[in-house]
Amino acid sequence: MSIRSSAAVILSCGFTALSLAQAPPEPPKPGPEHKKLEYFVGTWKVEIEVKANDYMPAGKSVITSTCTLGPGGFFVEVRGEGEKYPTTHAITAYDSQAKLYTTFYASSAGLVGGGTATVDGSTWTWTLEDKWFGQAFKGRTTVTAKSASQYTTKYEYLDPNGGYVTIVEGTATKVAP
């Protein structure tokens, strides 16, 4: 290969790299499904009532749930802290391949879990699997938006007979944007 050919190849590669550097691809933008997650952004006061069950004592409690939009707007980060219950962190996103919402969470009491959700109007229905100290539990959480600043929530676990048993119900009120 001659010096002129080598110089031409080097210049061609340089110009190609320069043109690519000047026109980076535009980053993806959140779609309408991702935008639905923005409903939860803010600080919520969640008043819950726990029904008597084998896993936690019955009673009432207040949880502060702080939800922030993740970088790029594709997911929501959630931090829940309660009077009587462990601190929980969660990431919730929309899986555009599966066409489902997905979540993963972990708590300061060793609980880890995750699941998927569908949305029908103002109701989010989550199918969940929790793991705690070597045991797996299947459950369902239903969240129903009542207004821009209030939703209700209900958690049910799947009992061994195949029926759902309600163990937590509550109402969340947005206290800060």
List, for residues 3-25, the tens digit of each pLDDT value.
Answer: 544 444 443 544 455 455 566 78
pLDDT at residue 61 in the model? 92
Number of residues written out for the chain: 177
Tokens of 117: 């959700």
Nearest to 115 by CA among 74, 156, 64: 156
pTM of the model: 0.83
Q: For the chain, list the domains and their CATH numbers.
A: 32-176 (2.40.128.20)
Q: How many helical (H) and strand (E) elements, i.e. helices and strands, does the chain have?
A: 2, 10
